[in-house]
Amino acid sequence: MATVHERASLVNEQTASGVAGIRAGRALGSKPGAGRRDVVFTFSTDTLADAGRREFSFTSDQALHTICGASDRVGRVIAANPWRSWPAVAMRVMMSPRQEAARVDGATLVRPLRLRRRDPTTVPALRQSYQRYDVILERGVRKLRLDRPAVLTFNPFVAAFCPMPWASSVTYYAQDDWASYPPVRPWWPAYQEAYRALSEKGARIICISSELARRVAVNTPVVVQANAIVEAHWSKPLPPPPAMSGMARPIVTYVGTIDGRLDLELVTRVADDDAVGSLAFIGPPTDGAIAEKLRSIPKVTLTGPMLRGELAGALMHSDACVIPHVINSLTCAMSPMKLYEYLAAGKPVATVDIPAVHGVSERVIIASSDGFPGAVRTALEMPGLDEGERLEFVRANSWAARHGRTLRVMLAEDSDWWEV
């Protein structure tokens, strides 16, 4: 009988060939063609199946979508999940055989598997783990005969600790400051070491905000690129979903994970204002205590997560939108995607004062904590946005526009990649 390690190795051999989830959209083993580059893409902590469940709406999802759609510049593509525990994956597949299925045209999936569920917390152990991850990636590269592919990864451990001698360039796309994200506190020192190693390695770096770039790109060039939206989700007015029916107007809406980023005192003060009829919170409640406190505030309704069409309809049905975040190291490094979704719906926005909200639109009212309820009133008094102006904002702030630059950074063949 095969040992645990032998079975895991067998699964890794199988998934490196792409049989485990994505169909190849281009001929395996064929040359990329003149002027085209092969690419290896890796997610951060989520998987291709996760991307499918959220309708490919996140930064990393849209980067992969752009890569696979750039047939004039990109040859063959490998998309790699992060490490997963093979016993956990096997159990999920047995309980729900279709749960792990996901597809995207133009790429071949690699699913690296190991016994343990979580990354080790020490840097030496992490280096060993990601050297093994690198072996699995290289196996896929060789099997598909990729030619010195460019790597785009959303995982700082992959960018910093995978040797990748087979790659022509490595680009790390930083969408969060992992070294200040509370759920991964045991790994904070390792993330800080990874940031330092990125500079030593000469990795190319894209960051979603200037503040994040200051932390991640230590004495090295960096491209700052804000988050964006999927143009197709906002191309026409949509009706409100059933979850928004019956809410008293004016409706003030928040979109995002219901967790410790929310400043409950600010929410309470906004709810106490007679100018506000209802407060809608759209998103998954990952912090039960925060969710219960929100439910106890008059005028607040938690709708749960929505599909993208429902979300667009909910925002278009709202009167104003808010970003009532606590101000800390994590939130100051963000480029809130919700800000662009709010504006794509044509709604004015009241937000706390974090760096990435400045200079985006005149319809963004930035306030201190003391002035936040007044900013919400100002937003509610703003006139509606002309449909032509709304669509112009959507086009200018689409992922298609943003990730064109991502392609230029990762595929640049000279050392001045940050000047593209």
CA distances from 312 to 276, 336, 338, 347, 383 (A): 21, 16, 11, 11, 19
How many other C-beta atoms are found inside a 10 Å radius of the C-beta of residue 281? 25
Residues 215 and 103 in one domain: yes
Backbone phi, psi, residue 131, to 5°? -70, -35
- Predicted confidence (pLDDT) per residue in 345-358, tens digit: 999 999 999 999 99
Residues 128 and 219 in one domain: yes
Residues 112 and 208 in one domain: yes
∠ CA(11), CA(12), CA(18), 5° rounding? 95
Residues 203 and 161 in one domain: yes
Residues 103 and 241 in one domain: no
**Percentage of residues of the chain with pLDDT beyond 70:** 90
- Give the pair of three-digit tokens for residue 153: 């990864």
C-alpha span between 60 and 289 (Å, rounded): 29
Domain holding 373, by residue range, is 231-396
Residues 327 and 205 in one domain: no
b/e map of 159-197 (b: 16 or more CB within 10 Å)?
A: bbbbebebbbbbbbbbbbbbbbeeebeebbebbbbbbeb
C-alpha span between 291 and 2 (Å, rounded): 46
Q: Determine the pLDDT at residue 384.
A: 86
Q: How many domains does the chain have?
A: 2
Instruction: Look up residue 258 and give its DSSP letter.
Output: B
Q: Does position 98 have pLDDT exceeding 70, yes or no? A: no
Q: Does position 25 have pLDDT exceeding 50, yes or no? A: no
Q: Does position 38 have pLDDT exceeding 70, yes or no? A: yes
Helix (H, G, I), strand (E, B) or coil at 278: strand
Q: Determine the pLDDT at residue 18.
A: 35
> Which one, of 358, 337, 365, 353, lies nearest residue 210 by Cα?
358
Q: Determine the pLDDT at residue 254.
A: 98
Residues 153 and 246 in one domain: no
CA atoms within 13 A on the CB side of 272: 9
∠ CA(70), CA(72), CA(78), 5° rounding? 50
- Predicted confidence (pLDDT) per residue in 299-330, tens digit: 999 999 999 999 999 999 999 999 999 999 99
Residues 210 and 312 in one domain: no
Which residues, 6 or more positions from 394, have their beta carbon under 8 angstroms from its beta carbon? 229, 231, 234, 235, 344
Residues 289 and 335 in one domain: yes
Residues 186 and 314 in one domain: no
Residues 178 and 40 in one domain: yes
Q: Determine the pLDDT at residue 35.
A: 74
CATH of the domain at 406: 3.40.50
Q: Determine the pLDDT at residue 97.
A: 58
CATH of the domain at 382: 3.40.50.2000
Contact 291, 285 (CB under 8 A): yes
100 φ/ψ sector (left φ>0, alpha ψ -120 to 50, else beta)? alpha
Confidence bin at 250 (pLDDT 50/70/90): very high
Q: Does position 11 have pLDDT exceeding 70, yes or no? A: no
Residues 57 and 176 in one domain: yes
